[in-house]
Structure 1
Amino acid sequence: MFESLDALSLNLPSEIVVSDSLIGLIISSVILITAVLILRALAARFIRQKIESYELRRRWLVQSRNGLILFMALGLIFIWGQELRTLALSVVAIAVAFVVATKELILCVMGSLLKTGAGSFTIGDRIQVKEFRGDVIDQNLLATTILEVGPGQLIHQRTGRLVVLPNAIFVAEPVINESYTNDYTLHVFTVPFKREDDWQAAQKAFLKAAQRHCQPYLEEVRNYMNQISRHRGVEVPSVEPRVTLQVPEADEIHLVIRIPARAFQRVQVEQAILNEALTGILSPVEP
């Protein structure tokens, strides 16, 4: 036991080194505090003896005390000014190092505040950020989790992959919310044809199929879009199925089909229209 104590004493420093400047600062501080305490006692004694009014005496006691405390604080700042400046520089250096080390975390928090304040999306919405696209299933202060949909922007099937997006991505990248209208949506898909194909007949076939499949709920979609227009103050889009043309290449014709659909049934409606229209085009009925 005594041997362990001896070993411990050997590891302790024999003396604590204190610089002369620090001793001088401590002595100056003690002198200042002592002088202020003496002045306060003398001032309080003088006020109690010379002022008879209770209210005035109490006011002068409080004012003299506060004035002496302010004087003592200014004196200590003057005495320790150089050390305080050194400490401030050290604190700033530590703060800068902390910001640099935690920059990504700070950006994640800022991104979370940004998407929450802007109301960019909520749980269940289908969003796209850069090349990432999917349904939001979870979000917290640092990250947002989506179930990936794709591949590409025209496919609406889940890939089975889970994507965790750091919220920092929302600070610098735009967010596309495909579930802006919630219950119903205007769904767009493209069918390419060669210029020499009979794309005129295909255009008529797709329009006819789209009108037939969308007719049962077309009035519901129209009423819903009117409600969205009144609530959000935006122009009401036409909900009628339509087929427009695009010419991306000199030898290609693209049919762009836009249909109204329930948000959870757009893939089924798209496939039904494709099957009906393409079957009629590829296998025309003999007269």
Structure 2
Amino acid sequence: MIFTLDGKYTGEILMTIAIIIVAYFIKKVLLKVLHQRITDSTSFYRVRRIINYVVFAISALLIGGIWLKFGQSFSTYFGLISAGLAVALKDLVVNMAAWIFIMTKRPFTVGDRIEIAGVKGDVIDQRLFQFSVMEIGNWIQEDQSTGRIIHMPNYKVFTDHLANYTIGFEYIWNEISILLTFESDWKTAKRTFLDVAEKHTLHLSQEIEKKIRVASKKYMILYKNLTPIVYTDVKESGVQLTIRYLCAPQQRRSTKEAIWEDILNIINESKTISLAYPTMRMTLDSKKNGSIHEME
């Protein structure tokens, strides 16, 4: 079959092609001009995304107007098309509705660290039907990047719990537990470990207080103590001291490493503080010819 332009819809076809071509060149020209003017890559990414959406929406409206004529049959055609789309493209429609929710309510945005549907990562892209995250954790410890990009359908914001590490309050609580022997001077160790935690995190206190005041206008965030604290507990093998402190999500591993290195140096130099570890004690019973009498 040879396609000709002598049919009933020749004008509509030509106008549709013309709109697509014009929209394509307008988008290219705008992006080229803005690329020269915007030096920040993050800002250019957001502007490019907005331009893509706007050009697509305007083109779709113009093409729809051409084919539907906006005449008396518009409501009939629109009803039939809507019903068909709702059935055949259910997932796409839900993803688009979720995209509108994401764009308006802003549960997360590009650059935020989130956890959803069992996946943790930094949001690196948002699109009409899906968003992408740079995965963290999984087989990698301390919430560092795995190098994998995970693409998630937008509707996940409706069906799964969403945790945002960044929005509102930009810091998280982290804990480090140190198990000392019962013979250790745990009181001195507790004071020393607190000094170490403050050394690495105390400079954040004023900044965090400002951010909490801002966040409390939108969320019920009521932290009374923002400075590091050390808790004491007793375990089977010794006295456990737990350092609790605030840090940025992306700095969880680096701050933990710095604190641990200082703690290890303190323990190595101290004669009264020792790390506890699993041990076994055996007692020889002389009455039973040197046989083992007790084991723990």
Give the alignment's TM-score, normalised by structure 1.
0.54
1:285 corresponds to 2:270: yes
SS in 1 for 2:110: coil
Q: Cα deviation per residue 1:256-287 (whole Å; 9 max; x = unaligned)?
A: 53323345544322221122123323x24348
Structure with max Cα Rg: 1
Q: Secondary structure at the match of 2:264?
A: helix
Q: 1:117 to 1:95 in 2, by over 3 A?
A: closer
CA distance in 1: counterparts of 2:230 and 2:114, whole angstroms: 25
**Which residue of the partner structure matches residue 147 of structure 1?**
134
C-alpha root-mean-square deviation of aligned residues, in Å? 3.7
Which AA in structure 2 matches 1:114?
A: F
Q: Structure 1 residues 139 and 197 mapped into 2: Cα distance closer, same or farther (>3 Å)?
A: farther
Change (3 A) 1:161 1:176: same
Judging changes above 3 Å, is the alpha-carbon distance between structure 1 residues 123 and 155 closer, same or farther for their aligned structure 2 residues? same
Gaps of 5+ in 2: 1-75, 273-296
Point out where structure 1 has 5 or more consecutive residues left out of the alignment.
Answer: 1-87
CA spacing shift, 1:100–1:225, aligned 2, 3 Å:
same
CA distance in 1, matches of 2:229, 2:152: 36
4+ long deviations beyond 6 Å: 94-97, 194-197, 249-254
Q: Is 2:134–2:147's contact at 8 Å kept on the other side of the alignment?
A: yes
- Indicate the percent of aligned positions where both proteins have the same amino acid: 24
Count residues in correspondence: 193
Greater per-residue helix proportion: 1
Q: CA deviation at 1:224?
A: 3.1
Moved more, 205-214 or 166-175: 205-214
Q: Which moved more, 1:238-247 or 1:190-199?
A: 190-199
Aligned partner of 1:185 in structure 2 is: 171
- 1:120 maps to amino acid: P
Q: What amino acid maps onto 1:285 in structure 2?
A: S
Aligned AA (2:135): E
3-state SS of paired residue (1:232): coil
TM-aligned CA deviation for residue 121 of structure 1: 0.7
* TM-score normalized with structure 2 length: 0.53
Contact 2:111–2:123 at 8 Å: present in 1 too?
yes
Tell me which residue corresponds to 2:261. 275
2:210 to 211, 215, 223: 223
**Shift in Å at residue 110 of structure 1?**
2.4
